[in-house]
Amino acid sequence: MPRKDKINTVRNIGIMAHIDAGKTTTTERILYFAGKIHRMGEVHNGSTAMDWMAQERERGITITSAATTVYWNNHRINIIDTPGHVDFTAEVERSLRVLDGCIALFCAVGGVEPQSETVWRQADKYSTPRLAFINKMDRVGADYFGAIKNIREKLDTNPVPLQIPLGEGELFTGLIDLVRMKSVLYNDSSLGALWEESEIPDDLMPQAKEYRDKMLEAVSDYDDELMTLVLEEKPVPDKLINNAIRKATLDCKIVPVLCGSAFKNKGVQRLLDGVVNYLPDPTEVGDVKGINPKKDREETRKASDDEPLSAICFKLVSDPHVGKLSYFRVYSGTVKVGQTIYNPALKKRERIVKILQMFANKRVEIDEAYAGDIVAAVGLKKSRTGDTLCNEGYPIILEQMDFPDPVVSVAIEPRTKADQDKIFEALNRLSDEDPTFRVSTNEETGQMIISGMGELHLDILVDRLLREFKVTAKIGKPQVAYKETIRISSTAEGRFVRQSGGRGHYGHVKIEIEPGLPGSGYTFENRVVGGSVPKEYSRPVSQGIKEAMKNGVVAGYPVVDIKAALIDGSCHDVDSSELAFKIAGSMAFQEAARKADPVVLEPVMSLEVIVPDNYLGDVIGNLSSRHGKIQGINPKLKAQAVRAYVPLYEMFGYATALRSISQGRAIFNMEFDHYEEIPDNRFHKQSLGTAV
Annotated binding-site residue numbers? 17-24, 81-85, 135-138
pLDDT for position 1: 57
- Does 314 or 271 have the greater pLDDT score? 271
Rounded CA separation 391/309 (Å): 6
Q: Are 379 and 353 in contact (CB under 8 A)?
A: yes
Cα–Cα separations (whole angstroms), residue 383 to 96, 312, 350, 386, 429: 20, 10, 8, 9, 13
Domain 288-398 adopts which CATH fold? Elongation Factor Tu (Ef-tu); domain 3 (2.40.30)
Identity at 201, one-letter amino acid code: P
pLDDT of 487: 92
User: Residue 385 class from Cβ within 10 Å (0-12 exposed, 13-18 middle, 19+ buried)?
Assistant: buried
- For domain 408-481, say whether CATH 3.30.70.920 is its number: no
Binding-site residue set for GTP: 17-24, 81-85, 135-138
Query: pTM for the whole thing?
Result: 0.70
Phi/psi for 98 (5° steps) reads -110, 5
Mean pLDDT of 560-576: 88
CATH architecture for residues 7-199+252-284: 3-Layer(aba) Sandwich (3.40)
Residue 348: what pLDDT? Answer: 92
CATH topology of domain 484-596: Ribosomal Protein S5; domain 2 (3.30.230)
| Mean pLDDT value of segment 537-560 | 91
CATH 3.40.50.300 spans which residues of the chain? 7-199+252-284
- Parts of the chain belonging to CATH 3.30.70.870: 408-481
How many Cα atoms are found within 13 Å in the side-chain-facing hemisphere of 327?
29
What is the spatial distance between Cα 679 and Cα 601, in angstroms, rounded to a whole number?
9
Fold for 602-685, please state it.
Answer: Alpha-Beta Plaits (3.30.70)
Exposure of 536 by Cβ count < 10 A (0-12 exposed, 13-18 middle, 19+ buried)? exposed
Give bridge partners of residue 343 from the DSSP assignment: 348
Q: What pLDDT score does 583 carry?
A: 93
Top pLDDT among 65 and 608 is at 608
Residues of the chain with CATH 3.30.70.240: 602-685
Going 190 to 193 to 196 to 201, the CA torsion angle's sign is positive
C-alpha dihedral sign at 458, 460, 463, 468? negative
pLDDT at residue 520, as a whole number: 84
Share of the chain above pLDDT 90, in %: 37
Among 203-217, 230-244, 429-443, the least confident range: 429-443
